[in-house]
Structure 1
Amino acid sequence: MSPSDELNELFRRFRRSAWRWECQGDYAVDEAKLQRWRDGLPPDLEAKRPWLDFIRDLTATGKSWQRVRMLTEPLTEYLRWLIEQTQVNIDAGEDIRWIPQRQAVELGMPGYDFYLFDDELVAIMRFGEDRLLRELEVSGDPQVVATHRAYRDTVWPHAIRHTDYHAPSSP
């Protein structure tokens, strides 16, 4: 099973909560989506519809989907694009927050992405040079889970809600 398939299976199986720490300045993204943004065109919401429907469906059942995204300093083009694309995710039911890289480092946050599912399972994500997910390390070990719960509990109160975040102007 590919790491992406394994992660999708975890998305289908969690019962209460999914929480993500997202700290890469760039991820693999369809170049056409970025070009639409560069050209000043609105996002293709139809292409995003399956994800938005997934989030709406799971939050309608009482599950939570939260994430904190680290903001590189300076912001990458990807992050500037993502900031402008995030409101539709919020409208679908995600709780997305932002934290500056400097503050994340001060708080001791890890340099890798991870999901915490139901406070019981951790999925550490490792990306290749092509920015694609290459490895998923899943653990239910109580020590590993406790460490990642502590990361979440440390950063969450410091992260800025998307609706309160004011991105710097593009250069």
Structure 2
Amino acid sequence: MTDPNQQLDLLFGSFARSSWRWECQGDYAIDAAALQRWRDGRPADMTRKAPWLQYIREITAAGKTFDRVRMLTEPPTEYLRWLVEQTDSNIDAGEDIRWITQSAAAELGMPSYDFYLFDDSRVAIMRFGPDKLLSDLEIRDEPDVVARHRAYRDAVWPRAMPHSDYYAPRST
């Protein structure tokens, strides 16, 4: 069986123009120490995130886009409250991240699974196990499947709130 994380890494390395993600789980696996730092009100340790941020800077410098919409459960889970406060570094690196409430996403008929849309021509449907880790990646490029996922993106993107409008960091 192929490791879904390796499959995803290959997709990250092969798209030519754009990557777009629908992110709708209320919780994902997280480093417990990172969450505890946040609970304690201490600044994030950016060491683990540095390779991702460097990757985003490189692809956006090359003219590629990396966008996502994150769904906020109602009420937001602790994970999502933490994530909101961790997103500025992604924005600074070049990602365009937007937020939408669960009820607004439901009104739009958004799916209950996460997916990436690469170059408007390939979909990577993500499934997570009980441990909240990525357990399966289904890669599809059939025109009807791609068109359905482009329609999801086109419906939610203009309704989602840019991160800078949603969240203003606490002043220190």
Q: TM-score under structure 1 normalisation?
A: 0.96
* Mapped partners of 2:105, 2:36: distance in 1: 30
RMSD of aligned alpha carbons: 1.1
Residue pairs, 1:16-165, within 5 angstroms: 16-165=17-166
* In structure 2, C-alpha distance between the alignment counterparts of 1:47 and 1:136, rounded to whole Å: 23
Letter of the structure 2 residue corresponding to residue 15 of structure 1: A
Runs of 5+ unmatched residues, structure 2: none
CA positional deviation for 1:40 = 0.6
User: 1:17-45 CA distances to partner (integer Å, 9 max, x unpaired)?
Assistant: 00000000000011010001001110111
Q: Is the contact made by 2:84 and 2:167 (CA closer than 8 Å) also made in structure 1?
A: no
Q: Give a deviation string over 1:68-112, Cα, whole Å, max 9, x none.
A: 000000000000000000000000000000000000000000000
TM-score, reference length from structure 2: 0.96
Structure 1 alignment gaps of length 5 or more: none
* Identity value in percent: 67
Runs of 4+ in 1 over 3 A off after TM superposition: none
> Residue 47 of structure 2: SS of its match in structure 1?
helix
Counterparts of 2:50 and 2:70, CA distance in 1? 21
Matched length: 168
